[in-house]
């Protein structure tokens, strides 16, 4: 039976709020998609001014534009305290799994088990060994409560709350075919943090949240050029629209005053990628990374793909999830190249349980 229900994903990012709705037809049909950049839309001038009330207003505004309205949504939380762990557990019923996870978590996490909320997803089951691998998403309870309050105040009903990085992983494995015998990485660079996922079709994925994002660079530009956060943000984004002059891409940055912070951001990301790559090789005895799929709003930074590839010595491809052949659109979308890079999380959420 073809599912006709609308499934909606909402991603309240640090800088950009996204919402996407889909229906399962022959292909996966995108019914609507909307985003608002809190800074470029002039709702906020600097991160300190961002309040829950403002987010509620912004979300309400986005929803008001959607024909037929929205009520139930799938949503995610992110940040350095939102973790994903994979665990080996015996094949148990769902209620037994919950207590087994709770018990295991108590010995892994650095805070009290009563102060966290968690959810799980079965990755694979091995009937012969009677074991299963589950991915467990963990969030501090107060963070979860704050997130749910914002959505409820925006008149939405959250059905599922997931960890950002799990949603990105789900988006990738639903829309891309994993190449046999190849280890690949996804690097989603948002505003406050980057998510790194390393995966191979025969092994469990590895997740890592890195506290580097577009705002790291904006703050560095703010300090260097002695300008406000919002002006630094604009300065950063305008650079993308200046024409390239030559084939050596690093030279494009000669004329900008903040080449240093950009290269230092690339160096830190490259270091994390190399560390995770080696860890994964040791863990599973596979060859190193074959490709890095770069996504997230900060993947739009001019030549970032080139600079990262050069630093890690692994090919880097921009991954725009909205351009997947498994998707179709109710209406044509003009600037899909620009928009798509923001949507891995929200699309991954909307795709959950829909296939």
Ligand X SMILES: Nc1ncnc2c1ncn2[C@@H]1O[C@H](COP(=O)(O)OP(=O)(O)OP(=O)(O)O)[C@@H](O)[C@H]1O
Enumerate binding residues for ligand X (CB under 6 A).
13-16, 78, 190-193, 213-215, 233, 236-237, 240, 296-298, 300-301, 342
The residues in 10-69 that bind Mg ion, with binding defined as CB under 5 A, are: 13
Please identify, using beta-carbon distances, which residue of 208 and 300 lies nearer to ligand X: 300
Please identify, using beta-carbon distances, which residue of 240 and 244 lies nearer to ligand X: 240
Among Mg ion, ligand X, none, what binds residue 31 when CB lies within 5 to 8 Å by partner kind? none
Please identify, using beta-carbon distances, which residue of 13 and 137 lies nearer to Mg ion: 13
Instruction: Provide, rounded to whole angstroms, the least separation between the CB of residue 266 and ligand X.
Output: 13
Please identify, using beta-carbon distances, which residue of 36 and 309 lies nearer to ligand X: 36
Tokens 């799980």 sit at which residue? 120
Among ligand X, Mg ion, none, what binds residue 303 when CB lies within 5 to 8 Å by partner kind? none
Which residues lie closer than 8 Å to 182 by C-beta, 6 or more apart?
Answer: 200, 201, 290, 291
Among Mg ion, ligand X, none, what binds residue 192 when CB lies within 5 to 8 Å by partner kind? ligand X
On the 0-12 / 13-18 / 19+ scale of CB atoms within 10 A, 319 is buried
Separation in Å, CA 241 to CA 268, 317, 320: 25, 20, 19
Which residues lie closer than 8 Å to 334 by C-beta, 6 or more apart?
Answer: none
Dig out the tokens for 289 from the structure. 């990374």
Please identify, using beta-carbon distances, which residue of 101 and 171 lies nearer to ligand X: 171
Contact 28, 326 (CB under 8 A): yes
The answer to whether 190 contacts Mg ion (rule: CB under 5 A) is yes
Instruction: Provide, rounded to whole angstroms, the least separation between the CB of residue 113 and ligand X.
Output: 26
* Cα–Cα distance measured from residue 198 to residue 206, given in angstroms and rounded to the nearest whole number: 5
Instruction: Provide, rounded to whole angstroms, the least separation between the CB of residue 47 and Mg ion.
Output: 14
Contact 228, 314 (CB under 8 A): no
Instruction: Provide, rounded to whole angstroms, the least separation between the CB of residue 343 and Mg ion.
Output: 10
Instruction: Provide, rounded to whole angstroms, the least separation between the CB of residue 126 and ligand X.
Output: 34
* Cα–Cα distance measured from residue 101 to residue 93, given in angstroms and rounded to the nearest whole number: 12
What SS3 state is found at 144?
helix
Among ligand X, Mg ion, none, what binds residue 348 when CB lies within 5 to 8 Å by partner kind? none
Instruction: Provide, rounded to whole angstroms, the least separation between the CB of residue 296 and Mg ion.
Output: 6
Instruction: Provide, rounded to whole angstroms, the least separation between the CB of residue 79 and ligand X.
Output: 7
Among ligand X, Mg ion, none, what binds residue 16 when CB lies within 5 to 8 Å by partner kind? ligand X
- How many residues contact Mg ion, by CB under 5 A? 2
Count Cβ atoms below 10 Å from residue 283 Cβ, excluding itself: 12
Positions of E strands within 127-192: 131-140, 157-163, 184-189
Instruction: Enumerate binding residues for Mg ion (CB under 5 A).
Output: 13, 190
């Amino acid at each position: 039976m073809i599912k006709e229900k609308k499934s909606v994903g909402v991603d309240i990012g640090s800088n950009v709020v996204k919402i996407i709705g889909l229906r399962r037809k022959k292909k996966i049909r995108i019914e609507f998609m909307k985003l608002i950049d809190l800074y470029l839309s002039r709702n906020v001038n600097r991160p300190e001014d961002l309040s829950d009330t403002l987010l509620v207003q912004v979300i309400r505004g986005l929803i008001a534009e959607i024909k037929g309205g929205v009520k139930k949504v799938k949503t995610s939380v992110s940040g350095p305290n939102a973790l994903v762990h994979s665990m080996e557990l015996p094949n148990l019923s769902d209620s037994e799994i919950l207590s087994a996870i709770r018990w295991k978590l108590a010995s892994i996490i650095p805070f009290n088990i009563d102060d966290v909320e968690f959810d799980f997803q079965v990755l694979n089951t091995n009937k012969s060994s009677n074991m299963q691998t589950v991915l467990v998403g963990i969030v501090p309870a107060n963070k979860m409560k704050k997130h749910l309050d914002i959505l409820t105040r925006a008149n939405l009903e959250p059905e599922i709350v997931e960890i950002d990085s799990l949603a990105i992983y789900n988006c990738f494995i639903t829309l891309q075919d994993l190449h046999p015998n190849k280890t690949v990485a996804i690097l989603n660079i948002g505003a406050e943090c980057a998510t790194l996922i390393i995966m191979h079709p025969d092994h469990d994925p590895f997740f890592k949240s890195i506290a580097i994002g577009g705002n790291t660079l904006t703050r560095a530009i703010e300090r260097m050029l002695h300008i406000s956060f919002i002006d630094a943000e604009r300065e950063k984004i305008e650079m993308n629209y200046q024409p390239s002059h030559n084939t050596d891409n690093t030279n494009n940055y000669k004329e900008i005053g903040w080449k240093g912070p950009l290269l230092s951001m690339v160096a830190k990301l490259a270091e994390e990628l190399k560390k995770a790559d080696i860890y994964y090789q040791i863990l599973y005895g596979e060859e190193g990374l074959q490709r890095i799929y770069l996504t997230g709003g900060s993947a739009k930074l001019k030549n970032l793909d080139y600079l990262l590839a050069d630093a890690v010595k692994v090919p880097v491809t921009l991954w725009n999830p909205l351009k997947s052949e498994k998707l179709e659109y109710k209406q044509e979308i003009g600037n899909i190249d620009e928009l798509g890079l923001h949507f891995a999380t929200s699309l991954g959420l909307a795709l959950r349980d829909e296939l």
